[in-house]
Amino acid sequence: MTDPLVLIPGLNNTAAVFDRLRVRLPADVPAIAVDNPALETVEAIAQALLPALPPRFRLVGFSFGGYVALALLQAVPERVSGVAMVCTAPNADTPAAAARRAASLQVVAEGRYVEATMAQAANAFHPDSVGDATLMAEREAMVRAYGPERFAAHVRAAIARPDRTALLDGRHPTLVVGGSHDALFTPQVLAYAEHIPGARRVTIEGAGHLVPMERPAELAQCLADWARAA
């Protein structure tokens, strides 16, 4: 039995983003999916999650969840047996990226959070996934459950986060996963994996940004192989 995977969701995601993944993980790779509370720093989110986590665990941070995962790694490195960065990166926002995030808060002010988020499906999914009515319905239910207040808090947390690239120094086995058609975390962005000693890097074909929902079987196998080997 491997140390439990702690699955940390991204922006606009509840723990439900991992529902399809969790049922495909093998029995010897246990997993705990958490919800990020509506707090305005990734450090505060990490501290809020810690009491419910086991003594030893492997972090799996998806998108915004990667920022939280690295805050957890910094807080309790002795409890972390590995870090998987799924469609995410350790660097801080550039000034331009921070400005774009801040501008996105306007949809909350205008009461258009759900509408605006659902309209971004083409940027979040592989083109083949956008026509999957079941998948889109699952995403809408998740976005509604997540809500505008949590979105606003997490946007501010993302803007405020520091660069934590130095934490990925090879002392904790590291996996970097990307989607072949991810418009947010492209292969070029994920090239940071090449500078992490011993890191594994995997590209999952036929997926956009929402790899856990689009290609759960492939991601489950990838995580299982990593957890068993490291």
Average pLDDT over residues 173-180: 98
- Residue 60, exposed/middle/buried by CB under 10 A (0-12, 13-18, 19+)? buried
Does residue 135 register a pLDDT over 90? yes
Does residue 230 register a pLDDT over 70? no
The span from the CA of 179 to the CA of 128, in Å, is 13
Full domain range(s) for residue 206: 5-229
The span from the CA of 10 to the CA of 14, in Å, is 8
The domain total for the chain is: 1
The span from the CA of 205 to the CA of 99, in Å, is 31
Residue 182 banded pLDDT, cuts 50, 70, 90: very high
SS3 content of the chain, % helix, strand, coil (to 5): 50, 15, 35
Report the CATH number at residue 163: 3.40.50.1820
How far is CA 161 from each of CA 98, 107, 230, rounded to the nearest angstrom? 10, 22, 28
Q: Which residue has the tokens 């997993």?
A: 31
Which tens digit of pLDDT belongs to each residue from 195-212? 999 999 999 999 999 999
pTM: 0.97
